[in-house]
Amino acid sequence: MISACPHCQQDINLNDAQLDKLKTALAALPSGKTLKLACPKCKQPIEFNKDATVVSVAAAVLKDVLYSDHVGREDATALGIVEAYQKAPKPARLPPEAPKPPDTDWLDSGVYAEKEIIEDVPRVMVLSADEEIKTQVTMAFGEQGFQPVYVQSAEQAIDKMQFGSFDAIVLHSRFEGGNIDDSTFHQHMRQMFMAKRRYIFYTLIGPEFRTLYDLEALANSANLVVNDKDVGHLGVILKKGMSEYDDLFGPYIDALKHYGVK
């Protein structure tokens, strides 16, 4: 007799009266037919053979398909189709295809309908040796009310973070002369404790990035990635990126604060 649901794997404990009803129903079941009962936990149907054995989920699905194609359940069992299906090797599952980078053609118009964001007065630390990019970053974050702080080296930036807090950080991938994988400061950000990291909006800028590609940002432990060629649109890119970040993580961070988690 059944002891656990084949769907949710939760234990099923039937009392004596329920067992008697089940046995009576099975005894009256015509040969070749099955009895379906709903699992009390997940509500999925559990199918019984006349001998009180449970029809496997895979076999039940296949029988339903065959029956819908006008092949009788008895014929399906007699032909051994169900048994062959159960023994046949199953195809390997391939990982899902990565999503494509977002379409950024709309950047030329500079139009993005953002939601109003109310922030305390925040600070942004800018790590860029390119003066034009530094200017664009300052203007874009300034529009959001951020006060900029500039550093000359990765060591100076790390020291400032030990003695002060920043709401946002912008790092150009060539700031230290190499690429992003060789960046001392980037490795520092990746290894930072989440209790501090979750409150910092980390933006990476560089020629290797695809603007607003969330999957690439996630792979680099950042909140936003921007290609060099799109820095002229950084103001509207930042609005979109921060709005989406607030929609996704805002309630979670508020809940942490409510429960005293820092």
Domain boundary among 64, 87, 110: 87
Indicate whether 42 and 136 sit together in one domain: no
**Domain at 219, CATH number:** 3.40.50.2300
Indicate whether 68 and 141 sit together in one domain: no
Domain count, the chain: 2
Residues spanned by the domain of 55 = 16-87
Q: What pLDDT is recorded for position 251?
A: 59
238 contacts 137 by C-beta, under 8 angstroms: no
Q: What pLDDT is recorded for position 43?
A: 78
> Other CB atoms closer than 10 Å to residue 3's CB: what's the count?
9
Q: What pLDDT is recorded for position 62?
A: 45
Q: What pLDDT is recorded for position 206?
A: 96
Would 96 be classed as within a structural domain? no
Q: Which residues of the chain carry a pLDDT beneath 50?
A: 61-62, 65-79, 81-82, 85, 116-119
Distance CA 76, CA 251 (A): 52
Question: Between the CA atoms of 100, 237, 148 and 187, what dihedral angle is there, to the nearest 10 degrees?
Answer: 0
Distance CA 223, CA 194 (A): 13
Q: What pLDDT is recorded for position 125?
A: 97
Indicate whether 219 and 124 sit together in one domain: yes
Would 191 be classed as within a structural domain? yes
Q: What pLDDT is recorded for position 110?
A: 65
- Burial level of 237, CB count in 10 A (0-12/13-18/19+)? buried
Q: What pLDDT is recorded for position 213?
A: 93
Indicate whether 136 and 243 sit together in one domain: yes
Q: How far apart are the first and last CA of the chain?
A: 51
* Partner residues linked to 171 by β-bridges: 127, 204
Indicate whether 128 and 233 sit together in one domain: yes
Q: What pLDDT is recorded for position 10?
A: 78
Domain boundary among 87, 107, 134: 87
Indicate whether 131 and 172 sit together in one domain: yes
